Structure 1
Amino acid sequence: MFSLANKTVIITGAGSGIGQAIAILFAKQGAHVEVFDLQQESAQETVDQIKAAGGSGNATACDVGDYAAVKALFDAVAAKHGKIDILVNNAGIAHIGTVLTTTEEDMDRLHRVNIKGVHACAQAALAHMVMRKNGVILNMCSIAAQLGLADRFAYSMTKGAVLMMTYSIAKDFIKDGIRCNCIAPARVHTPFVDGYLAKTYPGREAEMFQKLSEAQPIGRMAKPDEIASLALYLCSDEASFATGTNYTLDGGAVNLR
């Protein structure tokens, strides 16, 4: 079950964290994985892990907010492999702040990556998927799209947009044999979390890590591999009846608070 053999997959923001976990798992399941990340070195690190495990992958530096560059890169993948089967729109950036502390520059930066980046990549992938009447798009959303989280004004706004883009894509292209879903995780233990704690709470990292963990009803943060497992299901043929849905993976954060 859950084989991705002979599938060509593009995963954005796959140089670390959730994206890296998804890339490694998809390659293990037989996919050829195009690892896109803003940093070429990070993308290559993921591909090195994929190849060390016997998988197939390629590393590419990509700024998802650059429409022309995105189109050129997606077209190149399609030309080389003959198709794009799966897109995982994982690239995204976080921001902490209220409506009063969020600057115009903050808004522009979040909008460019978290909204325009999803649009640009989906647009570039769909151009090829529609021709083949087949394809899967998976967007990385967040429980921030569903809940009022403190100090997450701009981030929540962008994830709300991702949720609605997911529904729109699913609706508009269902007759073309294309499925689109999103995953809404709660807090996931990624390098971003470690960096945030080191910067914000120097010397108190362990204490604050415990507090952040206990904020989830289940008592811990998610692991990137757990998000990757759900992503694998949603992008596999076993999920052929699943489209237009937001899959919350949150340790009870939404319903058990």
Structure 2
Amino acid sequence: MSKKLIVVVGAGLGIGNHVAKKFGVNNFRVVLVSRNQESLNQYVEELSSEGIESYAVVADAASPLSLTEAFNQIKKNYGTTDVLVYNPAVLKDGKPTSLTSEILMSHYQVDVASALHCALQVIPDQVKQKAGTILFTGGTLAMYPSADWTTLSIGKAALRNLAFTLAEELKSKGIFVGTVSIGGSVAPDTHFAPDLIAEKFWELYEKREKNEIVYN
């Protein structure tokens, strides 16, 4: 049986790459997606050195067009996406009155709208095979918003609702949707180390019992 395929949008040294590694060591092929080709090449080299079949595709989470092109390339070259992980977010602080509607919408595109856009790229094939998983990197700002992090609070709340509504719609079609809501700053060698958080993504994928894990 051929390996399943995981696509991680928002590859990077934190959660993205550690989720990719967790699935990779469990017999998945990995496609990493982010804006920087040079960084992606390095990430692929690192995963490959650990025996993980991995590939890189460049795309910008701020651009739905580039994401569409990336997923077309992924489908053509690597086949159906069995697991999609959407990890990007704009990590910029700011109080409500310091924002403009344009700034809010630019953040919302990356934090939420592009998550839906990526999901829509893989859902048709997952429906056809009556199986698939879509996972989002969430945050407890969704439940406990902070004025200092207004756009991220709004984005994580909307992303959480997107996860739950997609889960409700797609469950009967064999597709599982979940989110890991993280309650702290991700940093190596802490309780919020990315490798520990990656375990929660794997837990959602394997157990498929609940649509959210709150990691405090």
Please indicate the TM-score interval, normalised by the length of the shorter structure: over 0.9
1:228 equivalent among 191, 195, 198: 198
Partners of 1:61 and 1:190 lie apart in 2 by: 25
**Which residue does the alignment assign to 1:242?**
209
TM-score (norm 2): 0.92
Partners of 1:235 and 1:43 lie apart in 2 by: 24
Q: How does 1:9-158 map to 2 (within 5 A)?
A: 9-158=6-155
CA deviation map 1:135-194 (0-9, x unaligned): 000011100001132411111001101001001111111111000010001223349xxx
The number of residue pairs the alignment matches comes to 215
**Which residue does the alignment assign to 1:198?**
none
Shift of 1:57: 0.5
Partners of 1:167 and 1:130 lie apart in 2 by: 18
Partners of 1:92 and 1:44 lie apart in 2 by: 22
SS of structure 1 residue aligned to 2:61: coil
Partners of 1:132 and 1:68 lie apart in 2 by: 26
Please list every run of 5 or more consecutive structure 2 residues that lacks an aligned counterpart in the other structure: none
TM-score (norm 1): 0.78
SS of structure 2 residue aligned to 1:148: coil
1:175 equivalent among 161, 167, 172: 172
Partners of 1:152 and 1:62 lie apart in 2 by: 26
**Which residue does the alignment assign to 1:205?**
none
Shift of 1:77: 1.8
Larger gyration radius, structure 1 or structure 2: 1
Partners of 1:190 and 1:108 lie apart in 2 by: 28
Shift of 1:67: 2.3
Sequence identity (%):
23
Shift of 1:221: 4.8
Partners of 1:18 and 1:177 lie apart in 2 by: 26
Q: Flag the 1:15–1:183 CA change in 2: closer, same or farther, 3 A.
A: same
Q: Is the 8 A contact 2:96 2:147 kept in 1?
A: no
SS of structure 2 residue aligned to 1:149: coil
Partners of 2:65 and 2:125 lie apart in 1 by: 16
Please list every run of 5 or more consecutive structure 1 residues that lacks an aligned counterpart in the other structure: 192-219, 251-257
Aligned-residue CA RMSD in angstroms?
1.9
Shift of 1:69: 2.5
Aligned AA (2:212): N
**Larger fraction in strand:** 2
Q: Is the 8 A contact 1:23 1:46 kept in 2?
A: no
